[in-house]
A and B are shown apart, each in its own frame.
Chain A
Amino acid sequence: MRAYLAFTKKEFIENLRTYKLLILLAVFLLFGVMSPLVAKLVPEIMQNLGIGGIKITLPEATAMDSWVQFFKNVGQIGLLVLAVVFAGIMSNEFSRGTLVNVLTKGLKRHTVIFSKLTAAALIWTMSYLLCLAVTYGYTVYFWDMGELQHVFLAFFSMWLFGLLLVVLLILGGTLFKTFIGSLLLAGGAVVAMTLLNISPKIQKYNPVTLCGDNTALLTGVKNASDFVPAVIICIALVVVLTTVSVVVFDRKQI
């Protein structure tokens, strides 16, 4: 337990001093501010543009437009930034040879995986909550929030998908020992899930639904029953893939 805490602390120091934490917080803060502002300002700008004398009339923006922007920003570029920042989480240790010292000091190999997962998951959670809180603040300020459906599920789903991404990055890094390997495994998995999503039958079981259809859940177009199977499968994947990482890492020659 003490080794786990010590190594997790090391992970936090690393993320702090190599500016990874700062980058993620800054990016997600930016998205937090941008989502409601874009929702608010774009219709107004369009209206005042008056291209070729044509007056463009857009419906008045609502709180929901702000959430649409939020899920689009976080679910696309946000997750991409998360992946790039954490793609080196395992490979840096392999390529620089820094694990040799700590492992020969008696650090259990599974502790390495658990510590890294803990730190990355906490940093993702912090970034996501920051983004959410800022968007919420602006949205409440600009608009009447109105009636939102399945609030917890909609926001939890996006967070859970981010966690799955982190687990995939760790597995990729453990398997291939490289930054690219990490990124390719996670990217490949997302592409595969997106391709599978073409079949409507699979959609409600497919984790990629968790980062795509969140606004449909908020508006009540989709029901909890369309999301819950994907949530369960995503949680199962997080557990299974973490276990696979541990088993693979235990057998890795260093």
Chain B
Amino acid sequence: MTDVLTIQNLTKSFGKETVIDGLTFSVPEGSIFGFIGKNGAGKTTTMKMTLGLLAADSGEITVCGERVSFGQTATNRHIGYLLDVPEFYGYMRPKEYLWLCGEITGLENAKIKSRSEELLKLVGLAGINKKIGSFSRGMKQRLGIAQALLNEPKLLICDEPTSALDPVGRKEILEILRQVKDKTTVIFSTHIISDVERICDRIAVLDKGRLALSGTIAELKAKHKSGGFTATFDAGTDKERVLGVLAENHLQPIGVEETEQTIENLFMEVIL
């Protein structure tokens, strides 16, 4: 498996504050790569350097084997980029916007037309012809994905694509990302761990500008086995009886916890 993106010894500071401190990792082709970290951990900075929007202080970034340079970088033709809150020209309609993107990126007219229709259908915006200014955040996010995938990029970089959305919007975006996985490698930054578990197969955890953890989810889980386990019973089960049976067999649990209904589940039940 070749690497679509490699980052070597990357360093970046803003003033005296070091945001990225000797970061090294790579993203193999065909993966959905979860890039995890707290707010301010340096995720967006790393992504912007990958796109040539910010200048790195030192280190090297390559995309599909080509080196990224600050400012005008040819490597962007391999990349589709989705911001956390993508901004569009509010006075344009979705098709006009995709047309503009297509012309900028140098697609043929026939190709722009077919790709636009295909992608608007994929993201569920087919037939919507109102101005982007009146879109909800979720709709903008979906248009953002369509825009990012227009030139069939080898690498799709999504910067917290789900963070600003409600649970329904999040689920839709994750579903779309899962669907495009066969055609493009996806890097997906987030601080929502459950989203990562849902769709990613590899992760890197960024902390204070350094890599704290990385590998495939399966590897990491195998390596960091807790040894303990959780058993969950139906709501109707008699707790005392279960504990009794355990005690009879000399099995002493270190803790007993009653499962609470999660608000996320409740929300989903009410909304859907």
Interface contact B106-A10, CB-CB below 8 Å: no
Interface contact A3-B72, CB-CB below 8 Å: no
Taking CB atoms, residues of chain B closer than 8 Å to A225 are none
B81 within 8 A of A: yes
B180 within 8 A of A: no
Interface contact B76-A105, CB-CB below 8 Å: yes
Taking CB atoms, residues of chain B closer than 8 Å to A98 are 87-89
Binds B, one of A106-114, A153-161, A216-224: A106-114
- Complex formed: what's the CA distance from A171 to B210 in Å? 38
Taking CB atoms, residues of chain B closer than 8 Å to A106 are 76-77, 104-106
Interface contact A3-B106, CB-CB below 8 Å: yes
Interface contact B104-A105, CB-CB below 8 Å: yes
Taking CB atoms, residues of chain B closer than 8 Å to A251 are 71
- Complex formed: what's the CA distance from A199 to B215 in Å? 72
Binds A, one of B51-59, B121-129, B227-235, B240-248: B51-59
User: Does more than half of chain B's interface fall in helix, strand or loop, or is it mixed?
Assistant: loop
Task: Name the one of B71, B87, B89, B151 contacting A100, with C-beta atoms under 8 angstroms.
Answer: B87
Taking CB atoms, residues of chain B closer than 8 Å to A107 are 104
Taking CB atoms, residues of chain B closer than 8 Å to A7 are 100, 104
Taking CB atoms, residues of chain A closer than 8 Å to B86 are 101
Most buried by A among B88, B89, B106, B144: B89
- Complex formed: what's the CA distance from A7 to B55 in Å? 25
Interface contact B100-A10, CB-CB below 8 Å: yes
B103 within 8 A of A: yes
Interface contact A13-B92, CB-CB below 8 Å: yes
A145 within 8 A of B: no
Q: In this complex, what residue of A is CB-closest to B87?
A: A97
Taking CB atoms, residues of chain A closer than 8 Å to B105 are 105-106
Q: Give per-residue flags for A83-116: 1 if the beta carbon is below 8 A from chain B beta carbons, else 0.
A: 0000000000000111011111111110000000
User: Does more than half of chain A's interface fall in helix, strand or loop, or is it mixed?
Assistant: helix
A54 within 8 A of B: no
Taking CB atoms, residues of chain A closer than 8 Å to B104 are 3, 6-7, 102, 105-107
Q: Give per-residue flags for A1-29: 1 if the beta carbon is below 8 A from chain B beta carbons, else 0.
A: 01101110110011001100000000000
Q: In this complex, what residue of B is CB-closest to A15?
A: B91
Interface contact A101-B106, CB-CB below 8 Å: no
Q: How far is the CB of B186 from chain A (nearest CB, A)?
A: 16
Interface contact A101-B87, CB-CB below 8 Å: yes
B147 within 8 A of A: yes
- Complex formed: what's the CA distance from A234 to B169 in Å? 54
Q: How far is the CB of A8 from chain B (nearest CB, A)?
A: 11
Residues A100-141 near B (CB distance < 8 A): 100-109
- Complex formed: what's the CA distance from A254 to B86 in Å? 14
B196 within 8 A of A: no
Interface contact B71-A109, CB-CB below 8 Å: yes
B83 within 8 A of A: yes
Task: Name the one of A5, A10, A109 contacting B72, with C-beta atoms under 8 angstroms.
Answer: A109
- Complex formed: what's the CA distance from A108 to B73 in Å? 9
- Complex formed: what's the CA distance from A6 to B97 in Å? 11
Most buried by B among A96, A103, A105, A108: A105
- Complex formed: what's the CA distance from A102 to B144 in Å? 12
Given contacts A7-B104, A105-B101, A106-B77, contact A253 B53 (CB under 8 A): yes
Listed A/B pairs (24) with beta-carbon separation below 8 Å:
A2-B106, A6-B100, A6-B103, A7-B100, A7-B104, A10-B89, A10-B92, A13-B92, A96-B87, A97-B85, A100-B53, A100-B83, A101-B86, A101-B147, A102-B104, A104-B51, A104-B76, A104-B81, A105-B76, A105-B105, A107-B104, A250-B72, A254-B48, A254-B53
> Which chain A residues have a beta carbon within 8 Å of chain B's beta carbons?
2-3, 5-7, 9-10, 13-14, 17-18, 96-98, 100-109, 250-251, 253-254
> Which chain B residues have a beta carbon within 8 Å of chain A's beta carbons?
48, 51, 53-55, 71-72, 76-77, 79, 81, 83, 85-89, 91-92, 96, 100-101, 103-106, 144, 147, 150-151
Closest 10 CB pairs of A and B: A6-B103, A17-B91, A97-B87, A104-B81, A107-B104, A254-B53, A105-B105, A3-B104, A105-B104, A98-B87
Other than the known A9-B100, A100-B83, A106-B104, what 7 A-B pairs have Cβ atoms closer than 8 Å?
Answer: A3-B103, A3-B104, A17-B91, A98-B88, A98-B89, A250-B71, A253-B54
